[in-house]
Structure 1
Amino acid sequence: MDLEKYRRIFLQESEKYLHDIGDVLITLENAPQDARHWTELHGKVHSIKGMARAMSLETIARLAHEMEAWCLKFQKGDCVARETSMQILSEGYAMLKTLVPRFGVLDLPDLPAAYHRLLQTLALGPEGGEQGIREVSREPGVPITDPIDPIRTIGVPCSLIEELLGFSQELLLMEKSKPLLAPEFASVQGWIDHYAAMAKGLYFRLAQLRLMSIEDFVDLYRHTIHHQARSLGKSIRMTVAGGDIKADVALLDRLREPMIHIVRNAIAHGIESPQNRKNVGKPEEGTIRIEAESRKEALILRIADDGAGIRRESIERHLREKRGMDDAQIAGLDEKTFFETILSSDFSTASVADETAGRGIGMNVIAQAISYLNGTLGISSKPGIGTTFTFELPMSLSVVHAVVFTVGPHILAVPTSSLDSAGYGVSGLDAGTSPVLDLRKLFRVGIDSARIPGVLFLRRPADSTAAPDAVKAMMVDTIMGNKPVMVMRQGQMIGSAGIFSGIGVLESGALAAMMDVSMVMRLLRGRHP
């Protein structure tokens, strides 16, 4: 029996169930009487219990069994789910998240005591009473916490991956400097080309070991942020756009504190209470939206909330008292300069700062952290509409999904997020009213009239003010498909063309030039710089 194989399967499947359990618990806190959600939670906890027992992981199986018993009572309506009961189940969920990657081994300080206290708490049952539950689960010195999940380390040190990446880069540079071979050495040239493709593929796979998706990065905080909102009596929904974009773990790790601080600010100071939101015609549930975008050689991260916005009067008071500015001077500031005032080291709103979040010194520290990463921080805010913080960071390593295609002998790619659809034939185009950029003509390659061309329909940006005659599609030769592409810095020669954003490395090792769709649109309108 290959025990290690089954341990891997257990870990993979349990992590999927734990992710779902966290989501269901959040839903239940807003609808604790809904039996359907209790049925769903019961089923997922039961699945973890079954897998744990099959692997003889009794610590996990016993905890899951006790949690399952609570779910069953709420599911049948035998008990009413109260706030304390939800908290105990959340602590059970946090304990499962701690035990599963350790395969049930109680190998951390205070973990055995916390585990047994939690079992004792669960054994009281939901009907045990809030006081009894509180006394058992909160014994001094044995806290049951729900910490922010760390970014899990991979099986080898990151320094070793860096070293291997360095060797791979040297191989790629050696391939570029190879001498020209005479025609009679065509077989040797074929071997060298194959070696070069293998070296590029190796670099692609090594680089991916250091990458993490934005979706997974945000998930590290989702449950903890929800608990903070609940402790403040607020209902918050987090959404992610561009979550499939991957970035270097080292970069994301340095973004942990700035990200969590801004999100906590949004909950504590930005998003109003449910009643206040209702009074102004907003949904009682607030929204925090995290958007990721890969733009040329930068990672763009936006953290937006739909709250009340930053209080302008606090900034105006600071500008008067600390900067000696009068009303006319303040009114003459552009929005960017005005809101960047809160990033100053001497700006503080102590009246609203607390241990959960504060806009004063903390915002200055955030600005310094982003500057340390050679990035920029932008702020925009509208009264009653919300606030958006935008990070723009250099990203030497990134993986995006892109539609890869050919134009003659050239391999090109366009980020999938820039397209509405792709296909063959021109049936969806109106030649009279829908401008089409034929890349075959642009790159001056031969056009085979017998071949049906591929067509890429471009997505119009949400904030686009383009004229009606703006480019809507590009015509190509062959569409190779939607593929993961590792984006690297482009050279000066390719960059001078003005329509490329980088060089993409495919899993096969082949290179593809990444097209900048916005520049392509300008090209068709005759505004190419």
Structure 2
Amino acid sequence: MTPDQMRDASLLDLFRMEAEAQKQVLDAGLLVLERDPGNAGQLEACMRAAHSLKGAARIVGLERGVQVAHAMEDLLVAAQEGLLRLLPEHIDALLQGTDMLLRIAQPQAGSGVDACIDDLTDRLQVLLGFAVPALCPAPDVPAGEASQAAATARPEPSSEERARVLRVSAERFDHLIDLSGKSLVEFQRMKPLSDSLLRLKRQQESLRRTLESLREQSLGSAEPLLQALVNESRNQLVECQQQLQAHQALFDDFAWRGGQRTQQLHDLALASRMRPFSDGLTGQARMLRDLGRSLGKQVRLDIEGENTQVDRDVLEQLEAPLTHLLRNAVDHGVEQPSLRRRKGKPEEGRVLLRADQHAGMLVLEISDDGTGIDLEHVRQAVVQRRFASAEQVAQMSEDELLAFLFLPGFSLSQEVTEVSGRGVGLDVVQHEIRRMRGNVRLQQVPGEGCRFHIELPLTLSVVRALVVSIGGEAYAFPLAQIERMLRLRRSDIVQLEGRQHFWLEDEHIGLLSAAQLLQCTEKKGDEDNIPIVLIRDRERCHGLAVEAFLGESTLVLMPLDARLGKIRDIAGGALLHDGTPVLVLDVDDLLSSVGKLLGDGYLDKVDHVGGERPAASKRVLVVDDSLTVRELERKLLLSRGYQVAVAVDGMDGWNALRAEHFDLLITDIDMPRMDGIELVTLVRQDPRLRSLPVMVVSYKDREEDRRRGLEAGADYYLAKASFHDEALLEAVQTLIGGGQE
């Protein structure tokens, strides 16, 4: 590339940056002018933005850009001079012009851009030629007042805004936060050292008193040497005390100042990731306006709390769910102007986006003044899709009915369009919000609109967490993802269908061992109260029994080494204030693990006190492609104390056998992907699994099939057509004994 080409390329980059910045000014100003065409400040700001782009395009040599910007400037100047009143048609053309200027600034604008530019400039000229004069022409504005209006539209940058901006990669910011967090933790170690100095000072004082007593006793002694040694020891001790006191004062001052500095460094590093909420809303007002126009509706977006500080990662991940909720509000919430008039509403619909901070959380509300949700329509949709019976639906509360809108594929829209109806994609919105350790709720008033309430952390780098002990190790639950914490009396635990439950506010909640869930050794205590952490999925709440509550803490989340990959149930690591490492739990993963554990069937009891852990149950793997047979065999074996895992075919069973330990394999013969004979053959060829007892349970009761199974290596063959409950259990008892080892 020649120097001229390099210079041109850099100029084009500069023009592209200016086009992006001026486009934001034009989009915001034009949306205001659509509602208030006579706003002199915004007219001046938009005209200056178009004028700046015209000059910049001329410098870079983009004649097509000069053509578009010049046509836009002419139209805006005419509006300034009162020769026309800006109508929605003018705003459409001007907004299209801002899009075209940004497109021209791209290195590869495309072959069809020239024709689009000609059409656009012709349209702008036609709109200028057939201008509708303003009913109240704008008065002549003196130069001084015009300058003042421009200053109002574009306020002078503050000293902070004029400061030099330095571009730093996100990786370096993350590394800075990591180091500042570690420095803060390291400085906490000053406190034990300060405490040890205080102990030393007390010991010296005790020694001084002892020497004083010895000196008093030696005063009457005839030994002058003894008196001299005691006096010398006393003087040396006093000197040591004075030095220690001076050093301790210096140390305390250093520790206090150093602690303040490291805390400030840490806070500043975290603040460097924060951006105003408005930075994540670029183009949203324009998007809603254009969408409303395409649907024949008048809609405006009002934003409150634009300066709320939010982590840049949260802003990036919020873009998709926010866009979806805003589009839904326009498409399925706000009514057509004629219908709004009949209801006594303003023709222009209003969508409100409010952002605020509360207790370290970002609280968002997206509401519209539209038609709300027809609950009767929801009831019919639930029954039609067979999610529940008509009798069950009739007894559901409004919150329970609205929860169906967050199920995958559930929609109230009668047709598929580019803009989804209320319900389509809300499961994706909920998934994205929960992935950011947040939650979303829907409220509505029929005929008056809907409101989505979203809570999520202000930053993904810092998490407010409940620290607990599980298996003697520290783990952290993000507070935003837990329902509550409580202490449960062992006498309140009840047995229901082989599982432990307890009642809480008229809801029965399943009880599980967190140690079993995380596959670590549980340390039992002698207390009567069991610490419980409640987590909830869509349908129900689960209680996880932990060993102790260690308190709440604000943790700097540190990602684990990439070479470890995604560790099940773990979101990342952190350090407590005393330097203790802690693993931060991924609650969504935990809920999946809960589902798998419930499917496997065997749950450790959490109500025994102290003592040794009971003997582990023997584990059986049931492999069958029939759901009915799998569940029948699983429940029979569970009733006798065996742990049971299931697999849907031979391939699934083979993977399970290689990953976990089992005491017995029960398999069918006819299955997809890998049949039972192949599975048994592989087991007998594997050195680790060669001695594993194998039982074949098959519908085939012919001697030939029995011989094939036994020749492949099965230890027992049982025909499904003839076996009964006791026959299966007796066979298992014969092969591996009872359920407890």
- Shared fold by TM > 0.5? yes
Match of 1:126 in 2: 124
1:72 is aligned with what amino acid? V
Q: Does 2:277 match 1:277?
A: no
Q: Does 2:436 match 1:373?
A: yes
Give deviations 1:362-421, integer Å, cap 9, x for gaps. 11222222222222211111111110111122344699xxxxxxxxxxxxxxxxxxxxxx
Q: 1:162 and 1:42 mapped to 2: Cα distance?
A: 38
Which secondary structure state, in structure 1, belongs to the residue aligned with residue 401 of structure 2? helix
Q: CA RMSD in A?
A: 4.0
Residue 172 of structure 1: how far off its partner (Å): 0.5
Match of 2:629 in 1: none
Q: Does 2:332 match 1:333?
A: no
Residue 157 of structure 1: how far off its partner (Å): 2.7
Name the CA shift for 1:157/1:45 in 2 (closer, same or farther; >3 Å). closer
Give deviations 1:71-118, integer Å, cap 9, x for gaps. 23444566786765533311222345567xxxxxx443326863x555
Which secondary structure state, in structure 1, belongs to the residue aligned with residue 371 of structure 2? coil
Match of 1:303 in 2: 366
Q: How many corresponding residue pairs?
A: 371
- TM-score normalised according to structure 2 size: 0.44
Residue 38 of structure 1: how far off its partner (Å): 8.2
Name the CA shift for 1:177/1:333 in 2 (closer, same or farther; >3 Å). same
Name the CA shift for 1:128/1:38 in 2 (closer, same or farther; >3 Å). farther
Q: Does 2:250 match 1:184?
A: no
Which secondary structure state, in structure 2, belongs to the residue aligned with residue 388 of structure 1? strand
Q: 2:399 and 2:382 mapped to 1: Cα distance?
A: 14
Which secondary structure state, in structure 2, belongs to the residue aligned with residue 377 of structure 1? strand
Match of 2:226 in 1: none
Match of 1:258 in 2: 321
Which secondary structure state, in structure 2, belongs to the residue aligned with residue 303 of structure 1? strand
1:139-218 mapped onto 2 (5 Å cutoff): 155-178=167-190, 179-180=193-194, 182-185=244-247, 186-218=249-281
Q: 2:434 and 2:82 mapped to 1: Cα distance?
A: 54
Over alpha carbons, which structure has the higher Rg? 2
Match of 2:355 in 1: 292
8 Å CA contact 2:47, 2:76 repeated in 1: no
Residue 173 of structure 1: how far off its partner (Å): 0.6
Residue 41 of structure 1: how far off its partner (Å): 5.5
Residue 341 of structure 1: how far off its partner (Å): 1.0
Residue 339 of structure 1: how far off its partner (Å): 0.6
Which secondary structure state, in structure 1, belongs to the residue aligned with residue 425 of structure 2? helix
8 Å CA contact 1:214, 1:246 repeated in 2: yes
Q: Does 2:48 match 1:44?
A: yes
Q: Which moved more, 1:204-213 or 1:382-391?
A: 204-213
Match of 1:344 in 2: 407
8 Å CA contact 2:302, 2:350 repeated in 1: yes
1:184 is aligned with what amino acid? A
8 Å CA contact 2:300, 2:351 repeated in 1: yes
- TM-score normalised according to structure 1 size: 0.60
Q: 2:189 and 2:15 mapped to 1: Cα distance?
A: 48
Q: 2:364 and 2:409 mapped to 1: Cα distance?
A: 26
Residue 293 of structure 1: how far off its partner (Å): 2.5
Name the CA shift for 1:39/1:305 in 2 (closer, same or farther; >3 Å). closer
Give deviations 1:244-303, integer Å, cap 9, x for gaps. 221112122222111111110110010111111111111111111112222223222111
Name the CA shift for 1:37/1:119 in 2 (closer, same or farther; >3 Å). farther
Which secondary structure state, in structure 2, belongs to the residue aligned with residue 124 of structure 1? helix
Q: 1:10 and 1:35 mapped to 2: Cα distance?
A: 28
Residue 61 of structure 1: how far off its partner (Å): 6.0
8 Å CA contact 1:17, 1:44 repeated in 2: no
Q: Does 2:383 match 1:320?
A: yes
Q: 2:180 and 2:425 mapped to 1: Cα distance?
A: 40
Higher RCO, 1 or 2 (CA under 8 Å, sep at least 6)? Answer: 1
Q: Does 2:391 match 1:393?
A: no
The alignment-based identity, stated in percent, is: 24
Name the CA shift for 1:307/1:119 in 2 (closer, same or farther; >3 Å). same
Q: Does 2:97 match 1:92?
A: yes
Residue 40 of structure 1: how far off its partner (Å): 3.2
Match of 2:426 in 1: 363
1:176 is aligned with what amino acid? Q
Name the CA shift for 1:292/1:64 in 2 (closer, same or farther; >3 Å). same
Q: Does 2:24 match 1:26?
A: no
1:108 is aligned with what amino acid? P
Match of 1:108 in 2: 107
2:28 is aligned with what amino acid? D
Name the CA shift for 1:220/1:73 in 2 (closer, same or farther; >3 Å). closer
1:39-78 mapped onto 2 (5 Å cutoff): 39-40=43-44, 43-45=47-49, 48-49=52-53, 52=56, 56-57=59-60, 59=62, 63-76=68-81
Q: 1:300 and 1:154 mapped to 2: Cα distance?
A: 30
Give deviations 1:222-248, integer Å, cap 9, x for gaps. 212211111112111212222222111
Name the CA shift for 1:306/1:127 in 2 (closer, same or farther; >3 Å). same
Q: 1:245 and 1:28 mapped to 2: Cα distance?
A: 26
8 Å CA contact 1:226, 1:236 repeated in 2: yes
Alignment equivalent of 2:309, drawn from 246, 252, 256: 246
Q: 1:336 and 1:347 mapped to 2: Cα distance?
A: 16
2:124 is aligned with what amino acid? P
Q: 2:440 and 2:54 mapped to 1: Cα distance?
A: 48
Q: 1:110 and 1:89 mapped to 2: Cα distance?
A: 19
8 Å CA contact 1:289, 1:304 repeated in 2: yes
8 Å CA contact 1:42, 1:72 repeated in 2: no
Give deviations 1:456-495, integer Å, cap 9, x for gaps. xxxxxxxxxxxxxxxxxxxxxxxxxxxxxxxxxxxx9996
8 Å CA contact 2:328, 2:420 repeated in 1: yes
8 Å CA contact 1:245, 1:398 repeated in 2: no
Unaligned runs of 5+ in 2: 1-11, 129-164, 198-243, 463-548, 557-741
